[in-house]
Chains A and B, each alone.
Chain A
Amino acid sequence: MWFLERWLENPETVKKMVYLLYVSLIISCLLGFVVQYGMAASDHGEEHEGFAFEQIPVFSAIYGFVCCILIIILSKAFGHSGIMVEEDYYDK
């Protein structure tokens, strides 16, 4: 799989992929608006109205971002409060 290696380690490709990420972030948010306002009329077949917070078109994006940051920071804080110990802890 040498081509994968050559391709992924090329700074040009990495740059392109970062742009691709930015573009997809924007598109996903725009699609959120489209689904919320553009398709609302045709989407009333659903049996539940959903929660109020789900009405925000980019709710999932915000929630995912905030949750991810919180998970990392809070878990690491929890771990460093005495939960993480040396590997030979139980052998002592």
Chain B
Amino acid sequence: MINDIVTVPPAAIFIIGALLIPLIPGRLKQLYLLAIPALAFFNLLYMQEGTYWIHHFMEYDLVLGRVDLLSKCFGYVFTIAAFCMTLYALHVKETGQHVAAFIYVGSALGVVFAGDLFTLFIFWEFLAWSSVCLVWYRRRKASIDAGFRYLMVHVAGGVILLGGIILYIQGNDGSIAFDAFDYGSPGTILILIGFLINAAVPPLHAWLPDAYPEATITGAVFMTAFTTKTAVYVLARGFAGVELLMWLGAIMALYGVVYAVLENDIRRLLAYHIISQVGYMVCGIGLGTAMALNGTTAHAFCHILYKGLLFMGMGAVIYMTGKNKLTELGGLYKVMPLTMILYMVGAFSISGFPLFNGFISKSMIIHAAALDHNAIIFLMLGCAAVGTFLHTGLKLPYFVFFGKDAGIKAKDPPMNMLLGMGATAFLCTLLGCYPQILYRILPFQSVEYHPYAPAHVIGTIQLLLFTYVAFLLLIKKLAGEPTISLDTDWFYRKGAVLFMWALHNPLARGTQWTIDATLAVKDFAVWFSKNPIEALSIIADKLCLGVLNISEGASAAGERAKAMLDTRIREYPGEPVRRDPIGVSVLLGTVFLFAYLVIYVVAPHLSVYSMIGLLVVAVIAGIGLRVREMMRAAG
């Protein structure tokens, strides 16, 4: 009677559930918080494959439920992870944090089950805005700043995505269905860039190691799972087999490893390993074969669990000790043994130890590269696996739990945090021991993969053991250094400083100059129009005085003439009407008649140069006459 059970969109359960959290009183709230993910999981179990929950909006069909094996697999892990993470976060008193986390999970589920690009875009934006709250709730200046940078990147990514969607729809006869894209048109390239930003593919990745370590202890655990894995899902759906992604993914896997060597902040080190691990998935999407896509889906599933567990472990360390730097921690196994053991389960999982879940999923992608006869990708991914074990499995636990005892007084975290970690650790080992549970829900049921082939098991054990030997040899070089590492966020963090400088200096000053210049012109016009003839005369006299000073040097008469001019300027506009209007009119008449004579009678017979020469002579003569007059008046 499965068909009789009414199911609802999983996104709705979380988002409506989130809005009701503030209404639930007291201890009932904790029960309610756990009930929501559980309800969503059972709802998902009964969801039939197909396309439904279609809403007609304007001329488009918005599809809230496109259910197939791929979307269901991501749906399962999202709800399971949400349950474990909520358990871990149960002690948080602040309701707002739970609301933000649930809206965040809900919008991730919304993207996963979206059958059209508009629905996808709307949930995509929700994802960014709800997750930034998880950063801001830490309420430190560093978190607020990192949150704004996070938001800036994601809003820019959202706009790029929307632009791509609109271009794509125009070129696609108005169809908004979200299926595999025919990669190559400008629209699909923009959509790909939008997706790659959320998948944290270098060089578009810097928001992730910037923001995640600044989020709240519990918020960061949620954030590790949903944003990047939603992006992996949409990439797998839309861009499977795009070769570019294969190379980007392999580079990404190594990029995270390199930066993890340099990192001193324990959660930022783990954040760089998210980039590395998502690199495997992006690479698998680029390979595009059934085996590779199965591997990508499986790895996303396992990754969400073990990365959540690792962040829970390190979150517990920060929560109990208040310290987050390798250089400040050490010897914690004595005071936080349970945290250490649970963390190590996550570390063995991410490193791909046999019997842990990383082993059964990571190797699928590497195996797919081998089936593709791509030795370079195969070796790059193998190298990244070494780096993963080196940092997450050896360096981090060594310098946090063992190493030099920092003498920190702490104890294991509250019971709910341990239970959350325990549940996740249980799932990691369960899937590692019984991989068929996971393989049965993968999107391509036709391919078979057996992780526990003897050669593979032995090869993995050799790889990990000899990595351990190299670690022991070079352990001194690996100790944390009290530094931060520059990454591509340098461009916008320092770029913003440059931008603000450009605003304050050239741009602001330029604006002020145009205002000043306009006002000066206005002032001059006002001054000039009060008595134009006197004004012209003052300007001419000033010019003449200048000429006199240059030709004769300073003289007593010149000083007096200057004093007289200054008096006139002070008294300006003075008497506006000249006392001898007739004389002036006659002079002007003569000037104009002379000008007519020159222009109409003389000019046609002269060249341009002689005209200019005449003009210069006239000006010099005029100045000379005026100077003589001034000297006489001053004399």
Contact = CB atoms under 8 A, between A and B. Distances in A.
B277 to A, nearest CB: 16
B562 interface: no
Given A63-B379, A65-B467, A72-B390, 18 more contacts: A1-B334, A25-B466, A32-B458, A43-B453, A60-B463, A64-B464, A64-B465, A64-B466, A67-B383, A67-B467, A71-B383, A71-B386, A72-B477, A76-B262, A83-B485, A85-B484, A85-B486, A86-B483
A41 interface: no
Interface of B: 257-259, 261-262, 333-334, 337, 370-371, 373, 375, 378-379, 382-383, 386-387, 390, 453-455, 458-471, 473-474, 477-478, 481-486, 493-494
A55 B455 CA distance: 10
Contact of B484 (A61, A62, A89): A89
A43 B454 contact: yes
A72 B261 CA distance: 7
A65 B466 contact: yes
Q: Which 8 A-B pairs have the closest CB atoms?
A: A68-B470, A75-B261, A1-B337, A64-B463, A61-B462, A79-B262, A60-B462, A60-B459
Nearest to B468: A21
A79 B257 CA distance: 12
A61 B386 CA distance: 11
A59 B386 contact: no
Interface string A69-92: 101111110110011111101100
Contacts of B333: 1, 4-5, 8
Interface residues on A, range: 35 or more
Given A4-B333, A84-B262, A28 B462 contact: yes
13 contacts: A4-B333, A21-B469, A39-B455, A51-B375, A63-B463, A68-B387, A68-B467, A68-B474, A71-B257, A71-B386, A74-B258, A79-B262, A89-B484
B625 to A, nearest CB: 66
Interface string A28-45: 110110011001000100
Contacts of B455: 35-36, 39, 43
A71 B390 contact: yes
Nearest to B484: A87
A66 to B, nearest CB: 8
B152 to A, nearest CB: 15
B262 A83 contact: yes
A65 B463 CA distance: 7
Given A29-B462, A72-B261, A64 B485 contact: no
Main secondary structure of the interface of B (DSSP, over half): helix
B471 A68 contact: yes
A25 B477 contact: no
A68 B465 contact: no
A58 B454 contact: no
A24 interface: yes
Interface string A10-33: 000000000001001100110110
B498 to A, nearest CB: 13
Contacts of A63: 379, 382-383, 386, 463
Nearest to A30: B458
Contacts of A4: 333-334, 337
A51 B366 CA distance: 12
A67 B262 contact: no
A67 B382 contact: yes
B24 to A, nearest CB: 37
A3 to B, nearest CB: 10
Contacts of B378: 51
A65 B485 contact: no
Nearest to A62: B466
Contacts of A76: 261-262, 477
A68 B466 contact: yes
B454 A35 contact: yes
Contacts of B481: 84
Given A48-B370, A61-B466, A67-B387, A28 B461 contact: yes
Contacts of A59: 459
B202 to A, nearest CB: 14
A90 B493 contact: yes
B392 to A, nearest CB: 13
A16 B261 CA distance: 30
A90 to B, nearest CB: 6
Contacts of A51: 370, 373, 375, 378
A57 B620 CA distance: 102
A86 B482 CA distance: 7
A65 B375 contact: no
A69 B469 CA distance: 10
Given A46-B453, A68-B470, A28 B458 contact: yes
A60 B455 CA distance: 10
B400 to A, nearest CB: 15
B486 A83 contact: yes
A73 B463 CA distance: 18
A19 to B, nearest CB: 14
Contacts of A69: 470, 473-474
A25 B482 CA distance: 34
Nearest to A48: B371
A75 B387 CA distance: 11
Among A36, A54, A75, A78, the most chain B Cβ lie within 10 Å of the Cβ of A75
Nearest to A92: B497
Given A1-B334, A72-B390, A84 B484 contact: yes
B350 to A, nearest CB: 16
Among B262, B465, B468, B486, the most chain A Cβ lie within 10 Å of the Cβ of B465
Contacts of A73: 474, 477
A71 B466 contact: no
A40 to B, nearest CB: 9
Contact of B474 (A32, A72, A82, A86): A72
Nearest to B474: A72
Nearest to A70: B383
